[in-house]
Amino acid sequence: MTVEVLTILMFVTLMASIALGHPLAVTLAAVATLFGLIDNGFDISGLLGLFANNAWGIFLNYTLVAIPLFIFMAQILDRSKVSEGLFDALYQVLGGLRGGLGMAVIVVSTVFAATTGIVGASVVAMGLMAGPALLRRGYDKALSAGIICSSGTLGILIPPSIMLVVYGGLTGQKETSVGNLFAAAILPGLLLSSMYLLYVGIRCYISPKIGPPIPAEDRTATVAQKISMTMKNFVPPFGLILTVMGTILAGIATPTEAAALGCVGALFLALTSKKLNWSVVTESCISTARTTAMIMALFVGGKFFSVVFLSMGGGDVVADVLLGMDVSPYVVFIIMMAVVFFMGMFIDWAAILLVVVPIFTPIAMDLDFNPLWFAMMVCINLQTSFLTPPFGYSLFYFKGVAPPEYSMGDVYRGIIPFVMIQLIALASLIMFPQIITYLPGVFFGN
Amino acid sequence: MFKLEDRIDGFNEKFGFYASYLVLPLIGVVVWEVIMRYGFNAPTSWAFELTVFLYGLHYSFALAFAHKHNTHVAIDVFESRLAERPRTILRITTNLVLFLPAIGMLTWHIGVMAVNSWQQWEHASSSWAPAIYPYKTLMAIGFLLFFLQGLAKLLKDIRSLKKSD
Amino acid sequence: AKREKFGADDRRAEIKKELRTIKPSTETFRWKMVMPWSKGLLFYDVAQHFADSVKLASGGRLDIKLFSAGELVGAMESFDAVSKGQADIGHDWPGYWKGKNEAFVAFASVPFGLDAEGYNIWLYERGGLEMMQELYGRYNLFALPGGNVGQELGLFSNKKASKMSDFKGMRIRTPGWYMDIMTSLGASVSPLPGGEVYLALERGVIDAAEFSTPAIDYPMGFDDITKYVIQPGVHQPSCQSAFFINKDSYNKLPADLKWIIDIAAKETQLWSNTWQENLNAQAVKLFKEKVEFVRMDEATINEFAKASHTYIEGLKAKYPDVKKVMDSQDLFKADFADWREERGGIAPWPYEDFIKGKHKQ
Ligand code: NA
Ligand code: NA
């Protein structure tokens, strides 16, 4: 069998097996085992020895230590109800505007995103808290579902972010170190957040029906109260942001160390808000262990897949096709982005990252794209995958906790404009790459 | 009645529960290193590697735990639309075709790697130079438990299929 | 009395028969090569040069494809991967395998040890190669010298240090044997991985760090964030690499391809050194525009040498393999001393400098 045929077969087999509903990590490993054996003439101990060797390499990967730490931090933070206080404050402050409550959700989610590295916690918290509130205030179901789902995904883009940790751990290169990736993601994350705000503001200004202001009698707080509420509730998350991102950007701590400091900070916040007890710690440990195992299993399975794929020459096949076309590098880039976007409709972000990045990165380097910029474009694309149907995890998290009035149809309809915003943001980052590269230059001088 | 799958379930539940606390010493070691470096200008020679070992054990030990609680992400949208019986048959099939051979062979070879490490009396190439063989062995145990959890699921599915006959 | 011819090419005697019987083979081979290098490091180019030479000389019959760190196996997993036949060949700095056997470090770089010329003579003429092949051979590997990139640069530092007391309490990054030696002298040493050195140095987590030769260090930009380079690089008078080949893969090769590998490895050893030392000279000029080069005083260098000697004697007492290899290197150094002395004093400085009295290397 030629490498070309094998390459195509391997991807087709992967896609078909994924649909069987078995855990993705195992499916990746199994497809890798099958094709690895076909490629090496059924030398079982050769291939599986290579896999064992790779599993050990992942066991020793210092960068990835940040993953359980950031997950634990999010678990503790989630249980200390930091976002509730924030939401209550912004309810009073922004509630009077058309679409104000929706904007409050976006602001809270953005701040929350800067303290947590994952998506689930933010969408679940907002779905439980803001979902009923928005509904009661007469917000359009589609719009409110879209707001909660999309702003919740910022958690995995705005640093800290386990997606960026995985990316850094995967490439192991200086240009795409976790520190650089974190610095690079700040402005694009804020850009997206502002675009959501702008969209909600304009949309509700034009048709107040879908996002009405809250009547004055429900916003009883005085200006002084509003200020003190806001201050009081913003201090804890900002303290945490300073602890984590501050120490990384000032170069005091590595991302892994900052994550551990963040855990201590989150425990401290939970303690001061009287939410800390042994069962909270136990619950957090348990869900941290399970979520970490899920991500690391994907890391292992995805690694096997890309090892076999690259080893049998599949990377060269893809590179020959993409680089063989006599077109502008940006066409090749857009094809790669389209592949990531398409896969994101069906597959989990981590699996895509682990399968695609090792294949696409050398091509992007061949075309002289800035590795940091390329990484960030892939990551924003993958953040979008949380929103894109049929399998958008953010949508599922939301549906899981939202009031029963929300149908899946509301959620799917609501998300469309926000996916468009994601695409517009990606386009503007092609035109203004400085949005990505500016901060890493300021903090790390590259 | 002795049921292997229940024994495996029971063991993995307990083991996973206690192993999940490993994240606490992990935080402790990392924070300790930061304190020693800034507070006492005395970075340790061991914290770096101990950190990595704790993280590696933490997730290796949780693989089975996560599998028991169906935390490993799967695209189950087609599967979940099937009726109970064909669904069970599909699960048995994927378990037999995907999980058991892939994870079984992998576990075996991680075991082989651990044995090699013992034979070489392998130590890390650092100044602290900790022994490597215990960690390779513990990683193999984590994967073995993962494999057993898959086996337990298979046995359960087969039993439920028989019951529905 | 009439004197015999002084010396002979030993290989000639060995292979006379083979020269009569050797035939060009027709079978083709595809090998996978793993390494601890990312694509940006010049070590990768050394490995690529060897693969190119082999492919050229064999007319494409032996095609070696490179996999940078992490593509096939993680950086530090390449030794085991080749040993177990998961890849056919690897490229390394042997010191990385210190955890398997301390003696590997002796084939890589020794503090106050051999320079590039020294390694060449010791490896090819004084039995070093045989010892190297014996050591790698225990792991089912056939090894050959795989390039020497010359002397490493000393410490990039934000503290000016030339006296012994300056080093007390200094926070330094250096791995391997020198880490233990510096620790024994009162420095506070951490073995940060390569990728984290820059940030740690920039933000003052550490005061000083060494990484590699001037040319290899240059892209890392250490000169942007430090003020001094503390010279000389006594920790690594040269940096020797190796190719290590899975024995089963090697034994499958016909004789002509085995010879091509042998000769291409020697060609790589020569080329890497000339190519690198020329680049090192250029890189040092560029560094000098930005950082001040500081020399440790003689007494301090003596103390470092003394500590290194004590440390290595300790290792010898503990590890018979280290003793065998280091005794051989020490004997070579001693045997070579007369000639080193006698030929000294005519280093190729520019005429103007030489006339002014600059004679020593
Ligand atoms: Na985040
Ligand atoms: Na999606």
Nearest CA in chain B to A396: B77
* Nearest CB partner across the interface for B125, out of C98, C171, C188: C98
* C92 close to C36: Cβ distance less than 8 angstroms: yes
pLDDT reading at B109 higher than 90: yes
Q: How much is the pLDDT for C19?
A: 92
- Check whether A175 has a pLDDT greater than 90: no
d(CA B64, CA B138): 13
Gap between the Cα atoms of C39 and A236, Å rounded:
43
pLDDT band at A168 (very low <50, low <70, confident <90, very high): confident
Q: Is the pLDDT of residue A241 over 90?
A: no
Which of A56, A62, A445 shows the shortest C-beta gap to C77?
A56
Question: How far apart are the CA of C270 and the nearest CA of chain B, in angstroms?
Answer: 29
* Mean pLDDT value across residues B124-133: 82
pLDDT, mean of residues A86-100: 84
The answer for B 29-48 residues in CB contact with A (under 8 A) is 30-31, 33-34, 38, 48
Q: Give chain B positions within 8 Å (CB) of A64.
A: 55
Distance between A50 CA and the closest CA of chain B, angstroms: 9
Q: Where does the pLDDT of residue A35 fall: very low under 50, low under 70, confident under 90, or very high at 90 and above?
A: very high
How far B2 CA sits from the closest chain A CA (Å)?
A: 28
The confidence score (pLDDT) of residue A182 equals: 93
Give CA–CA dist A186/A437, Å, rounded. 10
Q: What's the pLDDT tens digit per position in C131-144?
A: 999 999 999 999 99
What confidence score (pLDDT) does residue C76 get? 84
Q: Is the pLDDT of residue B39 over 90?
A: no
Binning pLDDT at 50, 70 and 90, where does residue A207 land?
Answer: very high
Tell me if A251 and C202 make a contact (CB, 8 A cut-off).
yes
Highest mean pLDDT: which range of A100-109, C6-15, C200-209, C312-321 = C312-321
User: What is the tens place of the pLDDT at every residue in C264-280?
Assistant: 999 999 999 999 999 99
**Cα-based angle A376, A378, A380 (whole degrees, multiple of 5):** 70
Q: What's the distance, CA B164 to chain centroid?
A: 32
Average pLDDT, chain C: 91
pLDDT tier at A89 (50, 70, 90 boundaries)? confident
Of residues A86 and C154, more confidence is placed in C154
- Mean pLDDT confidence for C232-260: 95
Preceding peptide of C232 cis, ω within 30°: yes
Cα–Cα distance between C14 and C81 in angstroms, integer? 33
Say if residue A273's pLDDT is above 90: no
> What is the pLDDT at residue C182?
85
> From the CA of A121, which ligand is nearest?
1
Work out the average pLDDT over A270-291.
Answer: 92
Lowest-pLDDT range, A113-117, C24-28, C289-293? Answer: A113-117
Residue A445 has a pLDDT of 66
Calculate mean pLDDT across residues C104-120.
95
Residue A368 has pLDDT above 80, yes or no: yes
CB contact under 8 A, C80 and A53: yes
Query: Contact B113/A52, CB-based, under 8 Å?
Result: yes
Give residue A81's pLDDT.
78
**Residue C259: pLDDT over 90:** yes
**Higher-scoring residue by pLDDT: A351, A423:** A423
Chain B nearest CA to A58, separation (Å): 8
CA distances from A291 to A218, A379, B98, C296 (A): 40, 20, 22, 53
Q: Which pLDDT tens digit goes with each residue over A246-267?
A: 888 887 788 889 999 999 999 9
Could you tell me which residues are beta bridge partners of residue C190?
Answer: C173
Q: Answer whether B19's CB lies under 8 Å from A289's CB.
A: yes
Task: Say which residue the tokens 């984290």 belong to.
Answer: C196
Q: Residue C245: which pLDDT band, with cuts at 50, 70 and 90? A: very high
Output the CA–CA distances (angstroms, integers) from residue B150 to A23, A51, B104, in the order listed. Answer: 11, 19, 10
As a whole number, mean pLDDT of residues A157-166 equals: 92
Using a pLDDT cut of 70, give the percent of chain C over it. 98
Which pLDDT value is given to residue C352? 93
Whether the Cβ atoms of residue B30 and residue B51 lie closer than 8 Å to each other: yes
pLDDT > 70: percent of chain B? 98
For chain A, give the mean pLDDT.
89
pLDDT higher than 90, residue A126: no
- Residue B16: its pLDDT value, please? 96
pLDDT of residue A102: 92
Beta strand C240-246 with C141-148 is antiparallel
Instruction: Write the residue in A53, A261, A347 that is nearest to B34 by C-beta.
Output: A261
Q: Which whole number is the average pLDDT over A402-406?
A: 86
User: Would the pTM of this model clear 0.90, i.e. be above it?
Assistant: no
For residue A112, pLDDT beyond 90: no
Per the listing, tokens 């291939």 go with A47
Strand order in the sheet with C89-92: C62-67, C29-34, C89-92, C240-246, C141-148
Q: Which residue has the higher pLDDT, A161 or A174?
A: A161
- Check: CB of residue B140 under 8 Å from CB of residue A56: no
| CB-CB neighbors (< 8 A) of B98 in chain A | 17, 20, 22, 26-27, 30
Confidence of residue C219 (pLDDT cuts 50, 70, 90): confident
- B52, B53, B49, B63: which is closest to B20 by C-alpha? B63
8-state DSSP, B96: I
Question: Which pLDDT band holds residue C196 (cuts at 50, 70, 90)?
Answer: low
Q: Does residue A168 contact residue A181 with C-beta atoms inside 8 Å? A: yes
- Percentage above 90 pLDDT, chain B: 71
How does strand C171-173 pair with strand C208-209? Answer: parallel
If you measure from the C-alpha of residue C318 to the centroid of ligand 2, how many angstroms do you get, rounded to a whole number? Answer: 59
ipTM score: 0.85
Contact (CB<8Å) A264/B31: yes
Average of per-residue pLDDT across C78-104: 92
pLDDT of residue C195: 60
C99 contacts on B by Cβ (under 8 Å)? 122-126, 129, 132
Query: How far apart, in Å, are the Cα atoms of C11 and each of C14, C18, C96, C161, C259?
Result: 5, 11, 31, 49, 12
Residue range B15-32, pLDDT digits in tens: 999 999 999 999 999 999
Choose the closest CB to A57 out of C74, C84, C195. C74
Q: Which of B62, B74, B91 sits opposite A293 (nearest CB)?
A: B62
**Assigned token pair, A261:** 């400091």
Chain A neighbors of B72, CB-CB under 8 A: 23-26, 293-294, 297
Predicted local confidence at residue C199, as pLDDT: 66
A12 Cα to the center of ligand 2, angstroms? 19
Beta bridge partners of C245: C89, C142
Q: If you average pLDDT over residues C64-89, what whole number do you get?
A: 90
The pLDDT of residue A362: 87
C210 Cβ neighbours under 8 A, 6+ residues apart: C152, C153, C154, C155, C156, C173, C174, C233, C235, C236
Q: Using the predicted structure, report yes or no on whether residue C118 has a pLDDT greater than 60.
A: yes
How much of chain C, in percent, has pLDDT values that exceed 90? 66
In degrees, rounded to 5, the angle at the alpha carbon of residue A304 between the alpha carbons of residues A302 and A310 is: 100
d(CA A58, CA A56): 5
Report d(CA A371, CA A166) in Å as an integer: 15
Q: What is the mean pLDDT of residues C232-237?
A: 88
Per-residue confidence band for C349, with pLDDT thresholds at 50, 70 and 90: very high
